[in-house]
Structure 1
Amino acid sequence: MNFNIDNTYELGANEGSSQATGNKYIVLHETTNIGAKANASYFKNNWAKTQTYVQIVMGDGGKIYRVGADGYQAWGAGSYANANSPVQIELARTTDKATFKKDYATFVNFARAKAKQYGIPCVLDGSDNGIKTHKWISENIWGNHTDPVESYLEPFWGITHEQLAHDIAYGIKNVVEPKKVFTNINNVVTVLKGNVKAYATYKLDGSANKTTDIAPGTGWISAGIEMINGKPYYLIGGNIYIPQSITTFKDKVLINSDIPVHAVNLKGEVVGANLNGGSAWKYASVVNVPKVGYCYKIATDMYLPLKYAQGSGYKG
């Protein structure tokens, strides 16, 4: 099986460890945040400061990014595991079902390929050499991690340890259908109860719909958020939009997911800790962030993509 590996974020000749490894384990991790490219870039730029990196980061729809060199120690699982693992793999999170299916298949098949390359059994968390979860390393050697199954695969996508063990043993020929996907909270937006008889609605070109006013206090299912004259509007019907400013979300956003999502900075890079699904955030403005699109500014250099807001119509 051939894999295309992006070497953009590979450590240089004088970066990272120069110590060769033994060939006992392939270690499986998950990043705890969204975006493989962003995580690979973070390792590349911060390995010396954080003393943490791995050989491979994957995600973003089955993409593979190299950071450390195969067969040389990475710093991801404690000194003994690091010294005996020619490859450690980080799986980046996603809230998108199609993306996850590709990520998971690549995660499994790449781990199997590397195990075979180094003469390591394709056995998950057995008592001898093999492919190991970070949780197994923590329980049997050193550490306190529960990734990647308990922290991500099972609670977010229904992939149990038994399922992962089966897939590691036999591989994935066809992209699997996850048993569970993240769910939207809903996409209902509610119009304010202002002292008015009705609120005007608008078309995508910004002109008013003269015969389609809506009553105060009513709720509407929104199919998307569009920017009209520099402001966010909800799509509630065929070319019928209402400004966010006349809804209960006039100055805030509610994250429309039951799992954490990530904000980005003005460069479009993933930043900060996970933002809890269902949490509400005040926003100051809406900004067009390069490579990401329109985002709510929720803090200094911290932007939440519109698709993660209730009313975006996003279904994962």
Structure 2
Amino acid sequence: MGYPINNDYALGATEGDGRMAVKRFIIAHDTGNDANKGAHSARNEAAYMKGHYGAAYTHFIVDDTAIFQVGQPGYVAWGALDANPYSPMQVELAHVDTQARFNESYKRYIWLIRYYAKKYGIPLTLDKGGRTTEGVKTHKWVTQHFGGDHVDPYGYLAKWGISKRQFAKDLKNGVVGTMGEPEYYKTKGLYEVVAPKVYAYKDLKAQQKRAVRFMKGSRFYAQPKKYGKIYRFKTAVGYVTANKDYVKFIKALK
């Protein structure tokens, strides 16, 4: 299945960088703009980027309604500092407000990355190797290897139930039909964090992040609560993901 590309906000011939990019990386971002998650989130982001391309821009912005092109694929865009010359395609995942909208946005995001990786002969590996290693890279990987301070898109993906492992799997295999859902724990019990860290949220919808983090190896007793198709643990300090990629079961509570 393919998706149409909307060119309403595509840069003109005299706008943006005129250099051809080395075909080494596809760079995956999220917009980081939770204030813009309404029905036209990607359109709003694309319009803003078009008007401020002199500061920064990527090639595409995706949400559940459309894929908007801003920069010209194949040419350098300005979204990832010194990694820019090595990326013929950079894409932003716009923020949305429901699981259903995220699922649709994510399918388009994965499809677009896979399409351009194939077009440019870039391996569908996630965040592997160093500066000369071809593949799909997140902005977090760019920060680690080229500098900067961005760590997207892992935090936003995790909010909607997509772990790094699931992201890598979907890049490799694609998302077919209904998006494959993560596995969740549904039993009250003792659990241990296996991810580097997980954040606690004030509310079940995970809209309000707390400063509290559970680091790898942390243990907690909790009761899973359901929100749509997602389960989150209700702990003494807030709600924490019940995704099996992030925590492991120790024992049940009677």
The TM-score with structure 2 as length reference comes to 0.67
Change (3 A) 1:125 1:62: farther
In 1, distance between residues paired with 2:61 and 2:178?
19
Tell me the distance in 2 between the aligned counterparts of 1:43 and 1:163. Answer: 29
Higher relative contact order (CA 8 A, sep 6+): 2
The CA distance in 1 between the partners of 2:170 and 2:176, in whole Å, is 10
Give me the whole-angstrom Cα distance separating, in 1, the residues matched to 2:81 and 2:113. 19
- SS in structure 2 of the partner of residue 95 of structure 1: coil
In structure 2, C-alpha distance between the alignment counterparts of 1:175 and 1:74, rounded to whole Å: 32
Residue 20 of structure 2: aligned partner:
20
Maintained 8 Å contact 1:157/1:178: no
Task: Check 1:177–1:170 CA distance in 2 against 1; reply closer, same or farther (3 A cut).
Answer: closer
1:106-138 per-position Cα deviation (integer Å, ceiling 9, x unaligned)? 111110110000000011111120011110111
Q: How many residue pairs are counted as aligned between the two chains?
A: 182
Cα shift at 1:257: 5.4
Structure 1 residues 179 and 95: CA distance shift in structure 2, 3 A: farther
Query: Which has more radius of gyration?
Result: 1
Q: Judge conservation of contact 1:21–1:86 (CA < 8 Å) in 2.
A: yes
- Provide the TM-score with structure 1 as the length reference: 0.55
Of residues 117, 132, 140, the one that matches 2:137 is 132
For residues 146-201 of structure 1, the C-alpha deviation after alignment (integer angstroms, 9 at most, x for no partner) is 10012x011x1121101100111111112315549xxxxxxxxxxxxxxxxxxxxx
1:290-309 alignment runs, 5 A limit: none
Conserved in 2, the CA contact under 8 Å of 1:62 and 1:104? Answer: no
Cα distance in 2 for partners of 1:2, 1:157 equals 23
Shift of 1:2: 2.6
Q: 1:107 to 1:62 in 2, by over 3 A?
A: farther
Determine whether 1:166 maps to 2:189: no
Aligned-residue offset at 1:256: 10
Structure (1/2) with the larger strand percentage: 1
What residue in structure 2 maps to residue 78 of structure 1?
81
1:62–1:105 CA contact under 8 A, matched in 2: no
Q: What residue in structure 2 maps to residue 56 of structure 1?
A: 60
Q: Which runs of 5+ in 2 are unaligned?
A: 184-202, 211-254
The 1:256–1:38 alpha-carbon spacing in structure 2 relative to 1, beyond 3 Å, is farther
Take 2:57 and 2:53, find their aligned partners in 1: how far apart are those partners?
6
- In structure 1, the partner of 2:42 is 36
CA offsets, 1:57-99, max 9 Å, x none?
000x1510000000111100012x1001000000001111211
CA distance in 2, matches of 1:82, 1:58: 19
Pairs within 5 Å for 1:185-196:
none
**Shift >6 Å, 4+ stretches:** none
CA distance in 1, matches of 2:24, 2:180: 31
* Paired residues of 2:2 and 2:111 also in contact (CA < 8 A): no
What is the root-mean-square deviation of aligned Cα atoms in Å?
A: 2.0
Counterpart AA for 2:121: G
Query: Residue 80 of structure 2: SS of its match in structure 1?
Result: coil
How is 1:152-231 mapped onto 2 (pairs within 5 angstroms)? Answer: 152-154=156-158, 156-176=159-179, 178-179=181-182
Ranges in structure 1 where 5+ consecutive residues have no aligned partner: 181-254, 261-275, 278-316
Matched with 1:146 is 151
Distance in 2 (CA, whole Å) between partners of 1:111 and 1:176 is: 16
What percentage of aligned pairs have identical amino acids?
Answer: 36
How far apart are residue 3 of structure 1 and its match? 2.2
2:176 partner letter: K
SS of match in other structure, 2:29: strand
Which residue number in structure 2 is paired with residue 2 of structure 1? 2
